[in-house]
Every structure is written in structure tokens, then in C-alpha cells.
Chains A and B, each alone.
Chain A
Amino acid sequence: MSAILAQLARRQLLWHGNSQQAAYQAVATGYSELDLQLAGGFPASGLIDIQTELGIGELRLLLPYLQQQHSRGRLLVLISPPAEPCADMLAAAGISLSQLVIITPKTSKEALWATEQCLQSGCCAVVLLWQPQLKLALARRLQLAAEQGAASLVLLRRPAAGLSLPVNLSLELTPHRQGLQLRVHKRKGGWPTADFVLDMQKHWPALYLPPASTALPQRKAG
């Protein structure tokens, strides 16, 4: 019996329910609670879909990941960022600015073309794309390009109901006083988990409000 089982297992005809294989190679996120929730971290390649409002901490969540990913001399590409990226913040996070490329295309079609070229080239580690919407077929195409170039694409967009995209990881971020509240919509090789709060006080002490909001007087702009 066991000999037959072993033989079947060797020929990969048998699938064990308890041996969960990672669907992707995970890279630590830099936040230990998040690593735990995502069973290892962010995917090293492929599409990462992040649904977020602008300016709530989405880039701070990604910074340790970006820093690790492009540390081996590959490029980090920002495509159509919402405003002027600030060198101080990126340099302070350990990102080497000589390997950073910022692309500001005029149309979204050009942005997608540039994204595909960067992903395919094999010389980019991570491409960050700010794009309002992405069609299913295009997402599939970008996923293939990312696999070809062993790159990862982080798609940052507003929360929107729609068809689920073929991505490795889909997160929705909502602001929280201590950091961010995360919801995993989809994770390749895993089940969605309950919402959880990521405390970012340790990493960003200046961007932290104590839980009791009444303790501090509110300042109102004049």
C-alpha cells in the first residue's frame, strides 16, 4: 500500500491536503505580522494588486519589500506616480536612487506599453504602476510579461468592485489610526483571511496617533 502511495506521490499524481506548497516564492515584507498573515510575505514576482486610497500609507507598506527586491542591482520603476516623488524619503528607506526610473507617460495606453516593456526586459525588479483600472486581458498579459522577466508589478488603484484579476496577491487597504487595516481579497495558494490591523508605529513613529483621539487637541486649519 505505502509502496504504491510512494510511487504515485513520486509521479506527482497524488496530492496531499496537508502539504501546502507555496504558490509563489515569498519575500519578507518587513512587517512580521504581515508575513505571518501572508504565509511568508509578498510574492517575489508576478502581479500584486493593491486597492487603496492615495496617501494612507500604501507606499510605506511596500518600502521594505521594494528595498529588498531591487538590492541586487535591478531597477525599480515608477510609472505615472500621482505627484512628484521625493528623493529624501526613498533614499532614507534604503533605495538606491541611481537604480530608480520614473516614467511619466501622457496616456494610459502608453503607460501600459511601458509597463509591459519594463516587465519583459528582465532588468527591472519591481514596477509600480498607478493606474485607475485594468482590464482582465491586460492583467493577464502583464502577468505573463512579469513571469518572463522575473519581475513583479505592483498595481496601485482605487478600491473598485469588479471582476477579480489574475494576480498573485490582491490586498485592500483602509486607513487606521495605528497604521493600516488590511483585507486579503485573494492570495494564490491560500485562503482569504479576516481583516487585520497592521501597526506601523515601530517603523514610522512620526506617523502615529494614539488610540484615544480625545487626548490631543485637534487643530483646525484657518
Chain B
Amino acid sequence: MALYVYLHFPALQCDSLTEAGQQAVPLAVVDAQHSIIQLNEQAAAQGVQLRMGLATAAALCHNLQLIPYQEQQQQALLMAIAQQLYQLSGEIAPDPPAGLYLRGCSMLQLYHGLDGYQTALLGGLKRLPYRYAYASAATPFAAKCLALQQFNQLTADHAVTDKALKCSPLSFTELETEMQQQLQRLGIDTLGRLLALSAAELARRFDHRLISYLGRLRGEFFHALDYIRPEPGFSRYLELLYDISDVAVLSVPLQKLLQQLEQQLERNNALCHQLTLHLYSRDSATKSYSIGSAQGEYRAVNWLRLCQLQLESSQLTAPVYGLQLEVTQFAPQQAQSDDLFAPQQGNISALQLVSLLQARLGRGAISGLSLQNQHLPEHASGRPLPLLPTRPQAGALLQRPAFLLPQPRRLHEAVEISSGPERLCADGWQLAAQRDYFIGRNQQGQWLWLYRTAQQQWFVHGLFS
């Protein structure tokens, strides 16, 4: 027995801009014909209605914020919802501009019946900021017709849906306005009356589109739906209500995006090591930040902290009107194993600490130290990335100073030599470049690592600290 669910989102673009817990302003989305097609509750409370002209709306509500309708953004939002719901329901087909078809019959066994499916689905929708209407029926078009009327119940009992369907006005169907008017002139104003007529008679007066629609509505014709496939990674764009030039204020919308990322990562049981944040501004070029976490994170709180540190270190030059968060690769989550007998004191690990420091101080400021198999002192110490596991090296050379000067400096003071010489030569054929190293102590009591060149010049190369 087939069961399709239709979800209708009446105000996607409008709802995407409102934030929970924030003092909301009346918002409305207007199309190219200056008629209002989406509005929020605050606008509705002031008397603004759908399909109202711009002038009437502005007269009713003086502080109404108007946003132009953007088809691309609407579609992106719809696809984002579909991707999120994919974790709950397997077969989802988008119905632009504002709806989703869900094939429910294949999911009933997983959720032990319709009640479980309904709980899971509505629970998932509750986490999203969008208002919605839903309905279920035996065919996709029937479900859509009922959802548009805000039927708002999922039932496997087809008698209930058929009854509701028969009373539905023609304006909720997929038929063109012309055809609806034609039918109304014949006295057919509900779907029930239309369905009562025989198909052969209708075919004589109307074209194939009506027959095809009614056939799919009844379930006699096959209705092909284009089901989505899950996309790898995460990419969300958020347009801001007003331009932001302060990093502290920017963290509020950023947190919203990161929470969506957290939800997706949590569902996939994954984490990510790197995310890219694009900040769009009107006057200057788009700024991109890549924020990394060596350990890999999924929690929004930790990512927000890293993002804030990185943003604080670089000044925002121009106000930002939109931000986009992108993650290309997810990594599987792995449990950390801690020492049972020496429990960790703090709440972050070494890798997390390194990511934190890198975010604020820059990548170049943090490094590890490695011992290279080189006898020349300036090549013996490598500065790799921090916390890289190094294999145990062949023995370290003894009698090396704690600190090497970046540039050897000329010796200008009296020193007492305590040991030496140790001759080091860069290459066998460059005998002129050989150096004789000594350890000496100057008058201030500092222990210096000195060398004498073949030309009998003395240099200080290091400090025994």
C-alpha cells in the first residue's frame, strides 16, 4: 500500500532570516510583481496578508522589512532541508519552490509503523527554523493537495484522506488557472465533483493535462519522482538581515551555521578537520578563512571558539552581508582512549590545544622540534609541525648548546676556553669552510659556543643556557 507524505514550507526564505530568541521585526518577501509572497508572524499580526500589494502592506505596517524573492536561495534552502531529512527518510524528492515529496511506505517497517515515522519526522522538522504544513495520502499529488490546505495529519486510512480530498477546492490542485476557471464555469468547484465525472467524458472536452493530472491523483498513472542522493560534505549560505562589521556580533549567525554542521556531523557519526568560512562584503573582495582542528571536531562550541580566535586576529575591513560555511571532507569519529590510571587533568587534549593556539597566533608561530641526521649545527634542528610522532634518532650529539643564534656574531670579548676544538667541515672539498668549535666562558659568566674559521676569525654561534 503506497503512502506519500508531502511537506510544504510556506515561508522558507523569510524563516531562514529569523533567529530564535531574538526580537523579531516584521518581515516580508516580495516578488518581481511587488506582491507579498512570504511573511513572518510579526507581519501577519499587523494585518499584512499574502498576495497583498506593496503599498497596502507598507501602509498597514510602517516598519515592515522587505526582502526580494531569490529563487536560487529558496532552492538552496529546500535542498538543505532535503539533505537534513534524508537521515530520517530515505526517498525524498524536492518539489520546487517550496515542497518535498517523501515516500513513506518504504520507511514504515524501519519505524515500526506510522506513529514512529511521524514522531521521527516531526522531531527532525522541529529542529529546523521553518514553518511547515504536511499531509499524507496514497499518491504524491493527493498528499500535496492536502498539505497545501494544512491538513497536518499523517494517516494510513485512505477513507479519511479521500473524504478530505473530495472537499478540496480546485485552487489547491496542480491545474492551471485557466482550466480551473473553465471548470468553475461548469459548476465544478471541488475536486470531488471533478473525480465523479468519467474520464472518457472529460477527455472529450478537456486536453490531456487534466486527464494526466487526475490519473496521477487517483494513482492510476505512474508518477515519476526524482529522488535526491545525499551529497558529501556540507555547504550552507546564510544571508544576514543587516551588515555586520564586528567579529563579536558575527559569531551569532556563525553559531547558527555551526550548529547545523554539528547536527549533520552527529547524524553521520563523523567529524571534520577543516572548514572554510567565506565572508561576503559589498565593497571588497570575499574573504576566506580556513580553520583547522588537528584532532577533528564536531561540536559547534569548539568550532566557534576556533573561528572566533581566527577572526579576532584578522580585522574585518568591510561590513559582511553573508557568510558561507563549507566542509569538503568528513572523517569518521574515533573514540579517544585515555589513560585509566593517570586521568587527564583538563578538558582538552594536546591536539585541541595546538589547534587553539594556531587559530589565534597563526600557523607559523607554533612548531615542534626534530633532530635531523646532520652534523652541521644549523641543519641539525628541524622545526616541523607540532606533535608529529618522530622515530627515535641515532644518538644526539653531546656538547651542543641550548640555543643557536640565527646568525653567528663576531666575538668581541675575552673568553676562557674550557674545551675544544671540535672540527666541523661542511663538505669534504671545502676545506676553507671548516670551523673549529670551542666552548668558552666570557666575563659575564655566559657559556658560549664559539668557532674559529680557517681565516682565524672568531664567531659566537650558540649559548649554553
Interface, chain A (partner B; CB < 8 A): 53-60, 72-73, 75, 81-92, 97-106, 110, 113-114, 117-118, 120-124, 148-151, 174-177, 206-209, 213, 216, 218-222
Contact = CB atoms under 8 A, between A and B. Distances in A.
A102 B367 contact: yes
A106 B350 CA distance: 22
Interface string B339-352: 10010111111101
Contact of B447 (A56, A150, A221): A56
Given A57-B464, A101-B368, A221-B412, A86 B401 contact: yes
Contact of A219 (B339, B357, B386, B415): B415
B323 to A, nearest CB: 26
B361 A98 contact: no
A149 B357 CA distance: 16
Please report whether the interface of chain A is mostly helix, strand, loop or mixed according to DSSP: mixed
B56 interface: no
A91 B371 CA distance: 8
A172 B165 CA distance: 91
Given A85-B402, A103-B357, A150 B381 contact: no
Contacts of A213: 416
Residue of B398, B457, B465 most packed against chain A (CB within 10 A):
B465
A85 B402 CA distance: 6
A98 B384 CA distance: 10
Contacts of A120: 346
A84 B461 CA distance: 11
Contacts of A175: 441, 444-446
Contacts of B381: 84-88
B414 to A, nearest CB: 5
A55 B463 contact: yes
Interface string B388-405: 111001011111111111
Residue in B354, B369, B399, B416 whose Cβ sees the most chain A Cβ within 10 Å: B369
Interface in B432-465: 439-441, 444-448, 450, 456-458, 462-465
Nearest to A92: B396
B413 A117 contact: no
A98 B350 CA distance: 12
Nearest to B450: A221
Nearest to A72: B342
Contacts of A118: 353, 357
A69 to B, nearest CB: 13
A100 B368 contact: yes
Contacts of A58: 465
A216 B445 CA distance: 17
Given A57-B465, A83-B403, A207 B366 contact: no
B292 to A, nearest CB: 16
B346 A54 contact: no
B406 A114 contact: no
A211 to B, nearest CB: 12
Given A88-B396, A219-B440, A83 B463 contact: yes
B285 interface: no
B208 interface: no
16 contacts: A56-B445, A56-B465, A83-B405, A84-B404, A84-B405, A85-B402, A87-B371, A91-B396, A97-B390, A98-B389, A101-B354, A123-B344, A123-B348, A149-B345, A216-B417, A221-B414
Interface residues of B, number: 72
A89 B401 contact: yes
Contact of A53 (B353, B445, B457): B445
Nearest to A107: B361
A98 B380 contact: no
B458 A75 contact: no
B402 A59 contact: yes
A117 B357 contact: yes
B11 interface: no
A195 to B, nearest CB: 15
Interface of B: 339, 342, 344-350, 352-354, 356-357, 360-361, 365-372, 377, 380-383, 386-390, 393, 395-406, 411-419, 439-441, 444-448, 450, 456-458, 462-465
Contacts of B448: 55
Nearest to B380: A88
Nearest to A113: B360
Given A59-B465, A72-B342, A97-B370, A88 B416 contact: no
A148 B432 CA distance: 56
Nearest to B348: A121
A150 B345 CA distance: 7
Nearest to A76: B369
A87 B396 contact: yes
Nearest to A62: B465
* Nearest 8 pairs of A and B residues by beta carbon: A122-B346, A175-B445, A122-B345, A91-B396, A83-B403, A59-B465, A88-B400, A55-B446
B416 A97 contact: no
A60 B464 contact: yes
A149 B398 contact: no
Given A84-B381, A207-B439, A102 B368 contact: yes
A87 B372 CA distance: 8
A121 B387 CA distance: 15
Given A98-B390, A221-B413, 7 more contacts: A60-B465, A73-B339, A82-B403, A84-B403, A91-B371, A209-B441, A221-B458
Contacts of B352: 121
A62 B444 CA distance: 20
Given A59-B402, A85-B381, A221 B415 contact: yes
A207 B368 contact: no
Contacts of A103: 357, 361, 365-366
Nearest to A204: B464
Residue among A98, A148, A149, A206 with max Cβ neighbours from chain B (10 Å): A98
B415 A207 contact: no
A60 to B, nearest CB: 7
A133 to B, nearest CB: 20
A103 B396 CA distance: 23
B371 A88 contact: yes
B346 A206 contact: no
A213 B356 CA distance: 52
